[in-house]
Amino acid sequence: MNQDPTNYLETWASIAHLIALVLVLMACINYIVYMLIVSIMGNRSGKYSFVLNNETKVMFISAIGLSIAAALVLNVFMLNERDFSHLFVFSLKSGLPVGIGITLAYAFHVYLSQYYPFILDARLADIRFRERKSPKSGRSMRLLNEEEEDDYLSEEMMIQEEQLAYDFDVWLDDISGETIIETYKGTTNRVCDKCHFRTLKLIKEEISEETMIKSKHYQCSHCGHKERVQDL
């Protein structure tokens, strides 16, 4: 004897709701655990590198889980009318949520790849340049610019900076002379003419239709200074 299709639907609804709930919980746990790891990391350059390399990936993994969960819930909702008389309608109700889930995942991907980098840059700048206290005296430390820090870097460190292999931040307690040196992965950023930190980042390139000269627009992530450079 053939079983009533509605029984299959009820079973599927229970399974789909359970899977959706698990996916939502896993997505939330994934992001919460990541944020907890970031919050307890004491080393500033280590936290910077960890956020730079992992934040977008963690958010996208959570977004995939939420997209699949949304597709499952929508699928159950659309099949709830229990109309099995028309194969086309049934197929449409089954397939449409899949398309919506894929669209949601793609929308998250576009957001994270095109728009979130601007938010991430601000977050990284906050991690790197926020006020720092001396662990010994508790006094505020000063971040030295590219010219000042050379007195505290070894010759090997200065060569590595010139080769863009690494970028070093030197924090100084002016009273005690205590220094802390943070090491960051090399960057192609230029030195800002205003604050003299290597934080001038290329944000846009354009070519003049009349002169065919390329112009590069830079903005400093430390002080916000903007510059426009033409390639002659």
pLDDT per residue as tens digits for the range 108-125: 999 998 889 889 988 998
Judged by average pLDDT, the poorest of 73-82, 127-136, 156-165 is 73-82
Main-chain phi, psi angles of 169, to 5 degrees:
-105, 130
187 vs 161: CA distance, rounded Å? 9
Residue 13 near residue 76 (C-beta atoms within 8 A): yes
For residues 18-28, average pLDDT: 97
The gap from C-alpha 228 to its chain's centroid, in whole angstroms, comes to 26
Give per-residue pLDDT as tens, 192-230: 888 877 788 888 878 777 777 778 888 888 788 998 887
Burial of 69 (0-12, 13-18, 19+ CB in 10 A): buried
Structure tokens at 113: 């790849």
The pTM is what? Answer: 0.74
- What's the mean pLDDT when you consider all of the chain? 86
